[in-house]
Structure 1
Amino acid sequence: MKAPSAQPDHFVHDRMPPPEAWPTLRYDLPELQIANQANLVQALLDQAERAGHIDRPLLRGPHRTYTYRDARTEAARIAEVLTQDHGLVPGNRVLLRGGNTVEMALAWLGTVYAGLIAVATMPLLRAVELGSIIDRAQPTLALCDGRLLAELQAAQTQHPVLATIVPFHTAPDAADLLQRAQGKPGTTPPCPTSVDDIALMAFTSGTTGSPKAAVHTHRDVLAGCEAWPRHVLKATPDDIVAGSPPLAFTFGLGGLLVFPMWAGASVYFPDQPYTPETMVRLMRDAGVTICYTAPTFYRQMAPFAKQIGLPQLRTSVSAGEGLPD
């Protein structure tokens, strides 16, 4: 029996295409038998605990490493900031703006933990492009890297539906998202979402026209974790993952967050933008074993990899175009 929706805000549900326009979605493989009530963040963290990985590293950064247990607590605290301090209810959209950082990953986890819908956006988007996404998704609150506030604030002036911007990754003395979260107990349980409740709206890059909002449910993400990572990637808890695709794209979200969580692995996020040389150097220093990036970037990394060496790298994952032999 289908579990009832836990999202009283049905804005996204009500704007989905009619069921007859959907593709046929089959979940008949044994590993795709997902419970009717499932919050994907809870499911992945519970799986890590059952497997004995709860105190292993999940998010690695230059200044701090968060274990799976830490991530659970931080996700709950962020959820409490969003629901208690700002009155958000499940199904509300939260715009996320940031690069690939530990803080951005925690903001995403906390948003989905609360039953809210994550609308992650590319760091390079300008005010006009952000405004188009705000028009489509109608978020009332955004979580934004403090270094990327200007364009979002410019979009906000033209789109007042976005009433609140909460910064993260700001100066140590600023009252940003994670500092506010420290004042919360982190005891709120995850929203008991239906497996068919909405987890995220992933806006495409618009290469074939205007960006489209691809909607993904909690079931979609969990089924994705049980498919390609299980049968092709075969990551292990000892793997350390890094890469350049943004968390705002599902290639980055899968490769650099939810797929490693499914495997009990960890992810290294730098505190600076990658260049081909810095990516190779940081990957070597962090002991990265799995890398995600695009063919052009691999091509540019190759001479540095040859010079510096990446002895622990065992798997390279690409997307976007075919790789030459």
Structure 2
Amino acid sequence: MELSPSAHVDTFTRDSLPAAELWPILEFTIPDVQYPKRLNAAAELIDRAVAQHGARRPAILLADGASWSYGELQLRANQFAQVLTEDHGLVPGNRVMLRMLNGPWTVACWLGALKAGMVVVTTMVAWRAQEVGNVAERVSPRIAIVDHRGLADAEEAFAALGAPPTVLVAGGEHDELAAACDAKRGEFAAVDTAADDVALLGATSGTTGVPKVTMHFHRDILANADTFARHVLHLGADDVSASTAPLAFTFGLGGNVIFPLRTGGAMVLVERATPLELAKLIRPLGITVLYTAPTGYRGIIKAGLADELGRLRIGVAAGEHLTRSTFEAVEQASGLRLVNGIGATEMLHVFISASGDDIRPGATGRVVPGYRAAIFDENGRELGTGESGRLGVIGPTGCRYLDDERQSVYVHDGWNITGDTFVRDEDGYFTYQARNDSMIVTAGYNVGAPEVEEAVLAHPDVLECAVVGRPDVDRGMIVAAFVVPREGLAGSDALTASILEHVRARLAIYKCPRRVDYLTELPRNPSGKVQHFVLRERAALDAAIAQPLTQGA
């Protein structure tokens, strides 16, 4: 695909794009995603919103009752763009790293950097020095805006770089960011970027080797709002959105920033939002749309806050598999029918989903308008209805890794292969089976971990559950369940027996766990996803320790 002339003076990101033959197919099949060749996403999100809805319209709502208007957000974004260009001499294409919690200044910096033609790199305050350093080494930021509470790790990470970025501290006693912005008039004309200029770099944490860095264009930022948010969620100016996901993750960035700004709504920002905390803000702040993981909704119900969920217009469950039992439990308790969906950082946001009367409990949904999907076997052959295989997706967004040979792993014959196993029915509904790496092969049988998790979760004394394969001498692998009991209960032989009896009544015997371990909480990454790889590593270590004893018995 031929790219438009770039506005970037620093050509690092365009030079680091994958070779053209490794790109996924990109399709712009609906009018909503047929953008002009020159496009600045921030100008579309904030300047157009102010023009359409007025500067006084509330944009950001805070837990303490304070708020930022669209006009104030625009002013702060413009001031930050001035700080970058006037005080620090940055030019379009330079990378701006944000290491900030969810808050108004984070949004202002994100918008301001894009308006100035910079490339934003969002990172987590929870990341430690090694993780920050791994990402910084890949993207070579010119400046980093760092929350004062995450300064020590950032300084340690940057000290190891050959060309460390300038650090601007946000918050605390010496708020350099606010002081620098206060000195500016707040007038800034958006840089005339190309629609296919890189605007956003999304990185993995990098704790297990070289991080993958996804590359997203200005048009990509708008595309997920103009497909999923518009055609599935039907968001409008009266909606107030809230998400437990950090803005450093594309799921949180989309639901809590891009979607509301694109549709003229408001966002609720809490620095480290928990599901329970946001549930308690539904009534006072008028939240209508909530984004959190399925386990978050279960926790809200079990905390006795089902009535608060019932006030929502939409509850989006993503980040992990939404089981049918969780869907039914939430609907029975609150009347809310959760919107399921699957997305990927590589695709920026959700591309299969369903809402309203189109929801089918247990199924993820149908392709979001503007996308198409198919199921493939291991050899790349497209499978038919009812056949389980690897999910492939094509649409207006697609995977582009920054200078990474793993591009050829994710993209095959133009399709984005997400790493998920799905099955499609005759009506075009896709149902999740497992992550490709979470299929457990035990004694020759294939067992999808999510199916077992759903059965275990249906037990009344189970709060959370994660299922992995545990190495076994006789069977190759056995099904192992890690369980968090409900509050007030502890793991016991009696509870294990009850859980196994419960599961055997629902699943074939070969799918039933042969081992149950109890935890006080499941390991999760900062976005709330269960870290199954941590549990697999633990199970493998336990098996290795136990194996000699078994063989010698």
Q: Is the structural similarity TM-score above 0.5?
A: yes
1:159 aligns with 2:194: no
**Which residue of the partner structure matches residue 292 of structure 1?**
291
Q: Give the corresponding residue for 1:92.
A: 94
Match of 1:33? 34
Write the mapping of 1:1-325 to structure 2, written as runs, cut at 5 A.
3-61=4-62, 62=64, 64-171=66-173, 174-205=174-205, 210-270=210-270, 272-304=271-303, 306=305, 309-325=308-324
Q: By how many angstroms is 1:208 displaced?
A: 8.4
Percent identity over paired residues? 38
Structure 1 pair 95–251 and aligned structure 2 pair: CA distance change class (3 A): same
User: Structure 1, residues 67-126: CA drift from partner, whole Å, max 9, x if none?
Assistant: 222211111100101111011111001111012111211111111111111000012110
Contact 2:282 2:308 in 1 (8 A): no
Q: Cα distance, 1:36 vs. partner?
A: 1.1
* Max Rg structure: 2
Mapped contact 1:100–1:246 kept (Cα < 8 A)? yes
Question: 1: distance between equivalents of 2:93 and 2:322?
Answer: 39
The range that moved more, 285-294 or 44-53, is 44-53
Contact 1:170 1:176 in 2 (8 A): no
Distance in 1 separating the partners of 2:111 and 2:194: 17
CA drift at 1:187 = 1.2
Paired residues of 2:94 and 2:119 also in contact (CA < 8 A): yes
Residue aligned with 2:235, SS? coil
Deviation at 1:59, TM superposition (A): 1.5
Please give the alpha-carbon distance, in whole angstroms, between the structure 2 residues aligned to 1:275 and 1:120.
20
Q: Which has the higher helix share?
A: 1
* Superposition deviation, residue 273 in structure 1: 2.4
| Structure 2 counterpart of 1:10, one-letter code | T
Query: How far apart are the structure 2 equivalents of 1:159 and 1:206?
Result: 16
In the TM superposition, residue 58 of structure 1 has moved relative to its aligned partner by 1.0
Report deviation, 1:316: 0.9
Q: Given residue 137 of structure 2, which amino acid in structure 1 is its aligned partner?
A: D
- Where 2:133 maps in the other structure, the secondary structure is helix
Structure 2 distance, partners of 1:97, 1:113, is 19
Task: Write out per-residue CA displacement over residues 181-238 of structure 1, whole angstroms, 9 at most, x where no aligned residue.
Answer: 0110111211111111110100134598642100000011112221111100111111
Matched to 1:193, the amino acid is: T
Is the CA contact (8 Å cut-off) linking 1:57 and 1:66 kept in structure 2?
yes
* Greater fraction of residues in strand: 2
Letter in structure 2 aligned against 1:57? P
Preserved CA contact (<8 Å) 1:236 1:264:
yes
> CA offsets, 1:154-184, max 9 Å, x none?
112112422311011223xx24212210110
Distance, in Å, in 1 between the alignment partners of 2:304 and 2:194 is 45
- Report the Cα distance in structure 1 between the residues aligned to 2:128 and 2:3, rounded to whole angstroms: 41
Which residue number in structure 1 is paired with residue 462 of structure 2? none
State the distance in 1 between where 2:70 and 2:96 align. Answer: 23
In 2, distance between residues paired with 1:47 and 1:140? Answer: 29
Contact 2:122 2:202 (8 Å CA) reproduced: yes
Number of residue pairs matched by the alignment: 322
**Distance in structure 2 (CA, Å) of the matches to 1:177 and 1:194:** 28
- Could you say what secondary structure the match of 1:309 adopts? helix
Q: Deviations over 1:223-255 (max 9, x none)?
A: 222111110011111111111111111101101
Query: Does structure 2 retain, via aligned residues, the 8 Å contact 1:2–1:36?
Result: no
Partners of 1:96 and 1:235 in 2: CA distance: 27
Q: Which amino acid aligns with 1:16?
A: L
Q: Distance between the aligned counterparts of 2:61 and 2:264, measured in 1? A: 13
Following the alignment from structure 1 to structure 2, what is the Cα–Cα distance between the partners of residues 16 and 159?
23
RMSD over aligned Cα atoms: 2.0
Report the CA distance between 1:51 and its aligned residue: 3.1
Provide the C-alpha distance between the structure 1 equivalents of 2:140 and 2:113, rounded to a whole number of angstroms: 16
Letter in 2 for 1:71: L
Amino acid at match of 2:108: L
Which residue identity does 1:6 align to in structure 2? Answer: A
Q: Report the secondary structure of 1:12's partner residue.
A: helix
For structure 2, the residue ranges without an aligned partner over 5 or more in a row are: 325-553
Instruction: Find the aligned partners of 1:212 and 1:313 in 2 and give their Cα distance.
Output: 36
Per-residue CA shift, 1:3-38, capped at 9, x if unaligned? 421111011110111111101111232111211111
Output the TM-score relative to the length of structure 2: 0.56
Cα distance in 2, alignment partners of residues 318 and 209 from structure 1: 30
Conserved? CA contact 2:98–2:146, under 8 Å: yes
Is contact 2:115-2:190 (8 Å) kept?
A: yes
Q: Which moved more, 1:45-54 or 1:282-291?
A: 45-54
Distance in 1 of aligned mates of 2:263 and 2:207: 32
- The residue number in structure 1 matching 2:523 is none
Q: Flag the structure with more relative contact order, 1 or 2, with Cα contacts below 8 A and sequence separation at least 6.
A: 1
Segment of structure 1 superposing worse, 40-49 or 298-307: 298-307
1:42 partner amino acid: A
* 3-state SS of paired residue (2:297): helix
TM-score normalised per structure 1: 0.93
Secondary structure in 1 aligned to 2:319? coil
> 1:134 and 1:2 mapped to 2: Cα distance?
26
Amino acid at match of 2:129: A
Amino acid at match of 2:293: A
